[in-house]
Amino acid sequence: MNRITSLERKTAETDIKLSLNIDGTGKSEISTGVGFFDHMLTALSKHSKMDISLTCKGDLHIDDHHTVEDCSIVLGQAFDTALGDKRGITRFASAYAPLDEAVARAVIDLSGRPYCVTALQLENSLIGDVQSQNLEHAIESFALNAKITVHVEVLYGSNDHHKAEAAFKALAIAIKNAVSITGSDIPSTKGVI
């Protein structure tokens, strides 16, 4: 099974090149121009074991929104394409991840049914160079374009950096478990996902 894909997307706001290998080792080369977002995608790659190569030239003179959103859209589309018909996947997974005082939980279903609920409980408007609200939007944009159901919440914590990173790590671990191959059938009573 070859679960690898590459995508390019160019708009008036962003120019993105992405390569994704779901069955990688967690290698990443991320360069979006938004440092903290790069840090979150690097954590996602590392702990999901997906190899992600992503470059983006975005309209950062405006703000980080278009860059974060468009990169997440392309990553979601690539994930959906690379999974193919989802034959043999585990499909459902959940994971917890701590980072010091913060703990996050992610629950996912690689269902073909796009839905997302996030509750990261971020208190400051910025973490590094990214608007906090865009981190939740990144998870939502990824989930909707990957056509999966994602619930991510921070259960508790006091440091926004720790809360966000725990959330991305929990999501990564859940993805790693959900994409694992455990059979040869389509894991759905419908026979398709």
* Calpha distance 111→21 (Å, rounded): 20
Q: Stretch 147-156: mean pLDDT, rounded? A: 98
Report pLDDT digits (tens) over 90-125. 999 999 999 999 999 999 999 999 999 999 999 999
What is the per-residue pLDDT for 56?
Answer: 98
Q: Which residue has the tokens 């980072």?
A: 99
Q: In order of start, what are the domains of the chain with their CATH numbers?
A: 4-179 (3.30.230.40)
Is it the case that residue 79 has pLDDT exceeding 90?
yes
56 within 8 A of 64, measured Cβ to Cβ: no
Percent of the chain at pLDDT above 70?
A: 100
* Calpha distance 21→26 (Å, rounded): 9
* Calpha distance 72→65 (Å, rounded): 11
Nearest residue to 131 (alpha-carbon basis) of 44, 42, 60, 63:
63
Helix (H) or strand (E) holding 65: helix 65-83
Rg (CA), the chain: 16
